[in-house]
Amino acid sequence: MYDSPTALSPEARATIANALAGVLTDGIDLHSQIKVAHWNIKGPHFVALHPLFDALATELAAHNDAIAERIVTLGGLAVGTARHVAAHSRLPDYPQETTLDLEHVKLLAARIGVWLESARTARVAAQKNGDDEAVDLLTQAVQGFEKHAWFLRATLGR
């Protein structure tokens, strides 16, 4: 761990940074999967879903950046190369041959669910270790993506 301006102990910082690193890895993977859906979507819901997927990717990219910056603020190292993400993401691989609009919705809803689990787990680690800033950061991300997951599930009639 590098020096940090926070008042947290090095042990707490390491625990939180490691938890956030998992969220970042999953978030980078999810971002790329959303973009694959955005680029390849076809079907009767194209007009509604194409811009929605782009908006989801843009919002997630901002959360990924904030999470990476929190990792570094805590004294950790933000890692996010394609090779690292491919080796460590908890999301299932995205079937890139998918084009049907509602199949993309189903796949993304499931993957957002995995990312939400990762974010919630990291939030608990931040809570237990007294990092209110990371808790706030993750709460905002969870709130936004729970809403997005709801939109996707509603599109599927669930």
- CATH number at 21 reads 1.20.1260.10
On the question of pLDDT at 156 being above 90, the answer is: yes
Q: Is residue 3 part of a domain?
A: no
Residues contacting 100, CB < 8 A, separation 6+: 42, 43
Q: 3-state DSSP call for residue 42?
A: strand
pLDDT band for position 12 (cuts 50, 70, 90):
very high
Q: Is residue 89 part of a domain?
A: yes
Q: What is the pLDDT of residue 77?
A: 97
pLDDT per residue over 86-106, tens digit each?
Answer: 999 999 999 999 999 999 999
State mean pLDDT over 78-87. 97
Measured distance CA(29)–CA(125) in Å, rounded: 22
State mean pLDDT over 37-58. 97
pLDDT band for position 28 (cuts 50, 70, 90):
very high
Q: Is residue 50 part of a domain?
A: yes
* Domain count of the fold of the chain: 1
Q: Is residue 5 part of a domain?
A: no
State mean pLDDT over 35-59. 97
Q: Is residue 1 part of a domain?
A: no
State mean pLDDT over 28-32. 98
Domain that holds residue 95: 10-155
On the question of pLDDT at 158 being above 90, the answer is: no
Q: Is residue 52 part of a domain?
A: yes
> CA dist 145 to 3, 4, 13, 69, 86, Å?
32, 29, 25, 20, 22
Token reading at 9 = 């102990």
Measured distance CA(113)–CA(116) in Å, rounded: 5
Phi then psi dihedrals of residue 100, to 5 deg? -65, 130
Measured distance CA(83)–CA(87) in Å, rounded: 6
State mean pLDDT over 118-125. 98
Q: What is the pLDDT of residue 49?
A: 97
| End-to-end CA separation in angstroms for the chain | 44
On the question of pLDDT at 1 being above 90, the answer is: no
Q: Please tell me what DSSP assigns to residue 93.
A: P
pLDDT band for position 127 (cuts 50, 70, 90):
very high
Q: Is residue 2 part of a domain?
A: no
Q: Is residue 83 part of a domain?
A: yes
